[in-house]
Every structure is written in structure tokens, then in C-alpha cells.
Structure 1
Amino acid sequence: MEGESVTLHTGVETNQQDRIRWYFNDTRIAQITGYISFICTDVQCNEGTGRFRDRLKLNNQTGSLTIMNARTTDSGDYKLLFSNGNIKTFSVTVTGASGVDTDIMSVSVMEGDSVTLHTGVETNQQDRIRWYFNDTRIAQITGDLSKTCTDVQCNKGTERFRDRLKLDNQTGSLTIMNITNTDSGLYKARMSNGIIKKFNVTVTGASGVDTDIMSVSVMEGDSVTLHTGVETNQQDRIRWYFGDTRIAQISGDFSKTCTDVQCNEGTERFRDRLKLDHQTGSLTIMNITNTDSGVYKAHMSNDIIKKFNVTVTGASGDDTDIMSVSVMEGDSVTLHTGVETNQQDRIRWYFGDTRIAQITGDLRKICTDVQCNEGTERFRDRLKLDHQTGSLTIMNTGITDSGVYKLLMSNDIIKTFSVTVTAVSDSTAAASAVGAAVLLVAAACMM
């Protein structure tokens, strides 16, 4: 039941040599080992994963995991990995308390306006109200003032509503100010008496909003400017979005002018490639790549929205053939560029849309995996770049490494590799190999 505690039992007694790791989905949330310095729960195991903040407890004798004050968002598969190779899986379902209010109230609001979601109660020192947008906690009020929070105070890194949320200390009602269409969605208020209130918020464009989409085509490696068509002044505020992610903002308050990671910590897609015109708010994307294709939106303080559908095309002569590569799990594979690099060459490797390696004449900008993008540790210590050719070697491959790898070169050549990692043919061995791959990834996280 939501709000209660649940213990997932290992069924063993640990000793100094035992190592137990707990995972929720694919994220390590707890670990116990003979070395005290390696015992951790939640954010201690993985910085930034504060889902269970202060709600996990490990039994030092058995390694059993207790989840306190369980929430419906804690439902899912929990995996327990032992140092002897055994795996235990627990499917946890958290149900709402009896008498929970599941009616959904529909709320419509004009973009740029404010809206208040009412709890309909008076709080007291014992009451605790938590607000969620989808499954992310965005606000909380409690008798302990030190635990009252909104947005990034509740969850580091979740800055969607930066300075736009206000809590009523008497009722716990939530006000969203200067609302945008990306704020549309399901909001839930969870109260300590078990009642849940749900609000389906729809944000509509103001009258006269420009909804036309301007199509823009640009060659990979070039720069493109998305024009607002206005002159800004001290009062104007222009926000740029790529999809639903804010990537740039200009305001009369220079301390709030930002691009990319300055706007949202951890969103480094455009690292050092965005430039804002301080007179017009127009946005320039430099050294554009095909992963930058998509819809860009400019939200202006006068309620006008401009949309740009940007398509990035490869240069003429681009190599668009896909090379199929098959490798046995545990072996190494090299993806060859077929070229010799020089000081001017820049080669970038992508797995899906994530940059995983780069080589350039500037030694400071040569990187692999987490060095290229903080937080993307899929290949931890398993990638090697050939400094002469830029070829990429993936060592100790796992089945999760299967997929499409793209090579982008500064001479506009694109090479695509479809990599398939296969397990041994025997079905029993294949099942063991899957478990071994999970253990391999988990062990790599501790290196």
C-alpha cells in the first residue's frame, strides 16, 4: 500500500567477501560490500538519481533492501545481483490507499497566464502534501519547513518550472505562473491521509499566436540562424526550445540569459554551439549535425510562438551505406574509418543520438564516453580510439551494445555501422550470457 514500507529479502547472510548490488530498472540504487566505503544507497551510488531520497535502508547482515514510504512511482522490477553470479528479481506493485480520489479534474489555461490547482483542504503541522508532474515530484509542503520545496529544491536537475511555482502554506494549493504549452500534462496532489487529486492541465496558445511552422534546411557542419523577427527591449523575454527542452533564453535580466547547459544542467547536446543575438533574440546553431534536426520553438513574452522545422542534410557525396558488423559477446570489434587523420581532421562517433567518442587536432577535445557527455557511462573504459585513423574499438562487448553507430567526419563523410552482438548458440548458455552481460555492466559501474 502506498505510504507503507516493504522489504525485499536476499535470503542470505553476507560476509566480508560478499558483494550485493540492487537495481531499479537499469539504475543501481544500493550496494553492500565488505568495504565500508563502497556501501551506498540511491544518490550515493549514482549522483543525480534521487528517486528514493532518504527512503532506502540496507540490512548490513543480509543485504536485504527496505523501501520506506513507498509510492506508486516505485512500482517496477528490482534486481538483486550477487557476487557469485546469482540474480533475484522482485516485481513490486504499490497500490493507492483505500478511499483514494481518482477523479481527474480538467483545467484549461491560456499560455503566459497563471493557474492554481486547489487541494480543497486546510493543512496543519501534521499534513504532508506532495505535488507530481507526471512521475516527477515538483513541490512539497510539510510541518517541517526545511522540507518544504518547489521544483529544483525537490529534485536536483528538474528545472522545468524554474521560479514559476508557488505553494500556498495554508492549503498546499499549487500555482503555476507564466505557464507554457510544455507545462501541459497530468498533475497529482498526494496527501498524507491517502487522498490523491489529479488535474489534467491543458495550456492553449493565446489569441493571435503564430502557429505556422517555417521549414529550414541546412547542410551538416554549417551554421543556421533562426530569426525571431523582432527587436528586444529590457522587458522582452524570449525562450528557445528544442522539443520540450529549453536550450536558450534572453531576458532584460542578464543573469537569466543562458544557452544549453546554462539553462538546464545536464542537457549538453549543443555544447558551445549556440549563440544568441542580444538585440533580436535570434538563435544561431553552429557546426550543425544531423542529430540537431527537429522542431525548434521561440516563445516570446508577447505570447507569439515561432516554430522552425530544421532538417540537417549530409553534404553531397556523403556515404549513406550501412555496414553490418557481427561480433560474439565478450569479444572486441573495431569500426574502421578508412582514413588517415591529420591535425585538422575532426571525427565524431555516435551511438544512436549520443556522442560517445571524438578525435580532433586539439588534444584537449579528444574524448570517449563519459568524457564526451557527462552521465553517459554505457561503455565505461571499454572504448578505444586510434589516434592515426579515428577508428573506434569496443572492447568486451555486451548484447546491450547492439545498435547503430554513426561516424561523422569534418570532410562531411558519414559512415554508418549496424552492430549486432550475438550470444553463444546454446540456449542455456545464451541465458547465462544475458545474466553475465548484466553483471558485466554493473561491475563496470564500480570500476
Structure 2
Amino acid sequence: MFSEYRIHPALLHLLYCLLCSAGEEVVRLQELEGNTVTIHTGLTGVQSDAHILWFYRSENLDTKIVISLVFKGETNTEYPSERFRDRLQLNRTSGSLTITNISREDSGVYKLHIITGMSSVWSFSVDVYAPVSKPIIGNQSEKRSVSLRESCSPLCSVENGKDVSLSWYEEKERISSISSSDSSERLYLPLNITNPNCSTYTCVADNPVSSQTTQLDITNICYKSGTKVPRDLSKSLAAVLTSVGLIVALLILFVWIWKKKTNQQGKKYISICFISCLSLLVLKTASEWQKTSARWWCTQLKGCLLCSAGEEVVRLQELEGNTVTIHTGLTGVQSDAHILWFYRSESIEIRIVNSQIIRGEIITDYYSERFRDRLQLNRNSGSLTITNISRDDSGVYKLNIITGISSVWSFSVNVYAPVSKPIIRDDSEKRSVSLRESCSPLCSVENGKDVNLSWYEEKERISSISSSDSSERLYLPLNITSPDYSTYTCVAANPVSNWTTQMNITNICIKAGK
């Protein structure tokens, strides 16, 4: 019953704009099974010593299918995947990948990773289709005489498949169409001709890469008995109820994830997932590019629960000058794993460690001048040790371990200088305690990243101050109206260190002033 609905062109354009404006750009390819396909990158003159990797993802599993690197001046290219055995060819000049005799099982996302001084990634979504079958036209009604002015009901059918649609055309105008996501059931599309005339009717079966046409022979179909195909109303009703149920479930999932997601980029991603899935369920007659885009985004809902929490980032706070190890929590990393560490500061990502097995030999390179002679990799755990760490080394460190799949961990490291010792002096004229007048000690410290200054009476904090302007010294007064035997201390602290100065009431409040 959805075959009569069509999406408004303006809404299609709006959804297209939303899809194009978010997330990592993914180039989409549609190919015919059995062909030789080249995934063109659009690049020319890739750096000659670049490390080139291709990954294939199907059902959320990344598999490394091409490894190409230059070692001791010699280019080494390996194709480790059994799936693509003897069917892959890399072009190192452009990074393009050629796949021979491509099959429907090869559909998925292909990711190109080019590593030079930095790491760059391109993604390509490839959908492979079988050639569509030729449609068959029969008559679903009993034989009748046209002279009786009774209707003739040709029935067109075709073997269903991925993104197959079946349509009736009168001359060159499409007058009806049908498709179904259930590829196990044959597609049927009737045509009711109340007054057969000299018009030409054709039935067309197509998918994004092929089409087949059968022309209606009115004489044979409308004067001969055909096969009567009963309509199954219960199936139609079940399809409607199923679609409504899926829409309600999607809406509940969308609201739940939206509440958990706090950043705007994440909310936009979830919104597009939801809109695309909704359009795929309701708008059965959307154009092919729209259905392809919607299907790709809909598959991303498998990962939306994970996306709602964002990529987990381990946060570390360290003291300047120390030797710091970024522990991964892993043990027994695969011995032939390719291990990469990247460092990101102010949105610039650089490769700092590259460790791999080449011809049975472990080769570990430390590239960055910033960390010269200060890095040490543990290949058993993937952990990275940094000696004499400085505040300038603060940033995000990303570990990428590549075996049969690619896995990534992120660590946010903040490095702090030791906090200075606070100084206490009297901010008022010196007075005698016997006069019962107030005493005003003033505590101060050199400001810095995340430094705060606090007054304590015994063990209770009674006041505190901090400032994001680290160029100005921090000052915190304490007003004592009646000095007694309480102990007052001033504490300066940041996340990794602290200094305490105890106030001497006799020197600060009783000593005669000017």
C-alpha cells in the first residue's frame, strides 16, 4: 500500500543536504557483480615513501586487505586477506585499489589509510548487485472478450533482489511501481486495462546497475487464460503494522540516545540516523540515490548506542619532569601486530611511533623531533613511556593496533608544573590583639594551570579562589575578628601537587606595626 506515496522533492533535497553536511565524507559506489572495479581515490603523486593500508569493513568488522610500505629503499606490498585472494591490485601513485571479479559478498566499506608525516583516511562504500532478472508477464484474470468491455489484468513478476524495483510503463510514462526489502519473495505488479487500445505497455525490472524490459502482448495476454494470483490482505496488514512498530521503536531509541548525547555533533549524527531510517521505512518510492544514502545511515544505527557515549578517552594528569607510562591495559598483543602511536595538539595529528614486523624483524621508528630520545614502546602491551615529560607534551595520544582488524585507543594527557609555595602576610596595619580589632592575613601564590588557593581553619576549608588568567598572582584574604588558638593554614594546589603554609598568628596579628 506504500507504493502510491512519493516524497516531496523539497524534502528530498533537505535530507540530502543534511546527509552531506555531517560526519566523515564517504564516497558511494554501485557496481555490477562479476566486473573488475577500481576504487579511484582522486589522488595523484602519493608520497613515494608513504605507508599505504587498505581495510575492508563488513558487519562492523575491519579486515586489513592491503599493506604497502617502503623498507630499505624497496617497496613491499602484501595482500593478507583470504576473501580477496589474487583479486586485488594497488596503485601506489594514486592509492587506488582494483578488485577483479567482484561479488555481492564484497559489498561493504573500504577504508584507505595513507601514513606519511601524518595520517589521512578516506572511506568508500561499495554496493555490489547481481544483474536483474527478466520480468515475466501473465494474466491474473479469467479469459474474457474485449468486446464485452471487461477489464484485462496483466500481472508482471520478477525474482526479487537487493534494491530491485518493478514498474509498468504506458509508452514512456511510468504508471505504477513496487519494491520490497524482503528479497526472498518474488515481486508481483498487476496492471488493470479497462479498455485495451493501441498503447504500448512495458514492464521494467531494474536495480541501480542493470535493467530488463518485457513488452506486453495484449492479444496473447487479454484473450488467453492466465494465472490467477489471489491477493493476501493479511500480508499487507502485517507489513503496515510491522512498519508502524519499527517507527515507534526508532522514535523511542532516538529520544533515549538524544538525552544521553550532550555534544551538538553527536546529536546531529543521531538525528541523521533517525531521519534516514524513517525515510527508508515510509518513503518506498524515493529515488535510488536517496535509498542508498538512507540505507547506509540506517546501518549506522547498529553503532548508535556506542556513539551515544562517544569514543572513550582515558584522561591522565601528570607532573612535569616525571617519567610517564601511558598504560593500555592490554597484555599479550599479537606478536606480528603493526603498532602506531599518534600525538595530537591543537587539531594537528602527527605520527610519533611506528612499530612493525618486516621479514621477521621488529622495526620500531620514533619520528617526532618533539619527543627525540624520550619515547619507549612496549610491544607486549602497546604501552608508551615518555621520559622528562613537559607541559608542552600535553595533548591527545592515540594508539592504533593493526592485526586482522584495526583497533584504536585514545588518552588525554595533561601535564602540570609543581605548584609554588604560598606566602602569608598581613594586609592591614598591625594592631594589638587586646584591642579586639580584626586581623587580616593575606595569602598569595603564583598562578598556573588549574591552581586554586584555599584557607583552612583546622581541617575545614573556609574559603577558596582560582582564576583562569594564569598571568596574575592569586590573592586570598582571611578576616580574623578575634584571634584565638585555632590553627589556620593556606594551601595552594593543582591536580598533581600541593603546598601548605601555616599562619603564625603572633607574627601576623600581634606584632606591632607602623
Does the TM-score normalized on the shorter chain lie above 0.5? no
More helix by share: 2
Structure showing greater radius of gyration is 2
